[in-house]
Structure 1
């Protein structure tokens, strides 16, 4: 593990940009960017267009290490290049931004009020490819719909089991047990989730370090005790369907919680904007999220 990158994640000011929309969410991301589905005829063309969008974001002067600590990439993006460099190398060497990789294969069907991750059958191959491409860490998402203790325990069991394997490989895991912000029982689910996480943290050896990516809690500063655990490097928040304005307002009330936003980061960007307009909108977005993250 790169100790310079780890130190940046431990002590740096800023947030994590989530640029990891995958196969299922890519059409929505492109549509938000102004690219209609009739603009491409197959998956390869779709991924080329989304890489062009991500390249435009990453190369923007607004996208810099004064505000951004790390960026989460999709596997297809990791395999592509920006100005002749693999994306992770470009991020670190040109931008001083730490590269992460989304490794999950999407969500399984709902069971016990939650959606586990689908099996990652080629986990070793993905992790080896990540190491080869100079990726620092990984991210994987599960989804909690209801405050079902059995289901939430299954979620946390799976996240920590795979997270431990990732750490043993020399990569840095971000565990993402997302709670549905539209659930009428969100706060109850968060209470069960936190208890399960605290219980699992006690099982880790002293050397294992992780990050948590969570929904912004219903109760302000609800995850403060998790941040004090020596195994936790950072607790970061997803926007989870909130607008950027809503997400920033909620985030700013939580000390120590920083953003890892996807849609809320890029919601006003459009393919038809001039470079000047695009960079100005992205800059404003990044500065707003940064201020909400560092309070």
Structure 2
């Protein structure tokens, strides 16, 4: 899901003349995860900053050389492809066939290679072991209970060699946060313009769950308009709940640095209640 920090905005498309009306088609129930090209456009502009952070974090925080990396919940694979282009040996795991098919085509177009796996990020263990892993932009919050979250962290730890690092990013929601939240932003690529609205439609603090609705209007180069709507739950973490979760796996991970979604390697964040866009660097003991 998208970050609440930097919205991607592009200039609106030029208006067509009255003599060439737009073609339209409506698909209001398609899951946005089944349209990887739109999902990818939402996050595309973040890739450069993320990869620069990863490269620097590998050098600063991992012991030894990082050459083999892993992304659980890789989605459309922009970070898998970017890592492969930098020469890393990459493993990408997701449980959505449409996402993985899109990523395979992307790698083929760019003459890149990666090991792509359809699997469960709560249980998958990489073999041979990896040097680093990364999972950003709230993918982690799709694991809706404590057992799943801990199982995922343990599986990543089992995948890492000692001294390897896991870069984990997700939103924390303070106790005084407004549960009514709507975000809007735009993006464009390859002649397609998209407008995205994300709205919290259900918020249950005691159950630690919020439900989000993502609505997308995609206007293609040929004027065809496609509309998508998708709803999905995410687990809620306050900063303290996030810290407590990571403390529960401190036998396998140590927190070596905390940042935010600005991806500034020299800007460190305190582990306090003001931490909302949390980016943890965990090192395998």
TM over 0.5: no
Compute the TM-score of the two structures, normalised by the length of structure 1: 0.36
Look at both structures and tell me which one has the larger radius of gyration over its CA atoms: 2
Instruction: Between the two structures, name the one with larger relative contact order (CA 8 Å, sep ≥ 6).
Output: 2
Please identify which structure carries the higher helix content: 1
